[in-house]
Structure 1
């Protein structure tokens, strides 16, 4: 599954959860809004953490591939190649 689909699924889940919370809340409106806001913030924090993890993993993989390409190129050409 692509990371874009995961993020889209998470956002859809947050939206559906917030809507269900509003519709079925037995508490006062102000309390319900605070709870929804807190849950939304928790979901947003979780999503940020997952995105940061994804970016970190992607960056590490990119660096590894870049090193492998550089090594391969150096071996084939017989000289040092600088990749930026």
Structure 2
């Protein structure tokens, strides 16, 4: 519970600092909002890209494991059927 409170405090402090920074920014509000929107879009694109890469990687690993398990299953079935022609 202590770590949760610390994390909450850090996030609250960061949000408060960002709000104060925006309020006292030296640029016009329209420029600041545009920059915030641009950065948000950039972060969102990066996050989506990383998520897609992770999903592709996991899918590839899943297919690889599935292929290996099928091969092992076929070998075990052949052993159970008494087929001695299989080379290991």
Q: Same fold (TM over 0.5)?
A: yes
Unmatched 5+ stretches in structure 2: 1-10, 80-88
Q: TM-score, normalised by structure 1?
A: 0.66
Q: How many residues align?
A: 64
CA distance in 2 between counterparts of 1:60 and 1:31 reads 43
The 10-residue stretch of structure 1 (24-33 or 54-63) with the greater mean CA deviation from structure 2 = 24-33
- C-alpha displacement at 1:23, in angstroms? 4.5
Q: TM-score, normalised by structure 2?
A: 0.63
CA distance in 1 between counterparts of 2:24 and 2:48 reads 28
CA distance in 1 between counterparts of 2:49 and 2:61 reads 18
CA RMSD across the alignment: 2.4
Q: Determine which structure has more spread, i.e. the larger CA radius of gyration.
A: 2
* Pairing of 1:5-84 with structure 2 (within 5 A): 20=18, 22-23=22-23, 25-78=25-78
| Bigger relative contact order (CA 8 A; separation at least 6) | 1
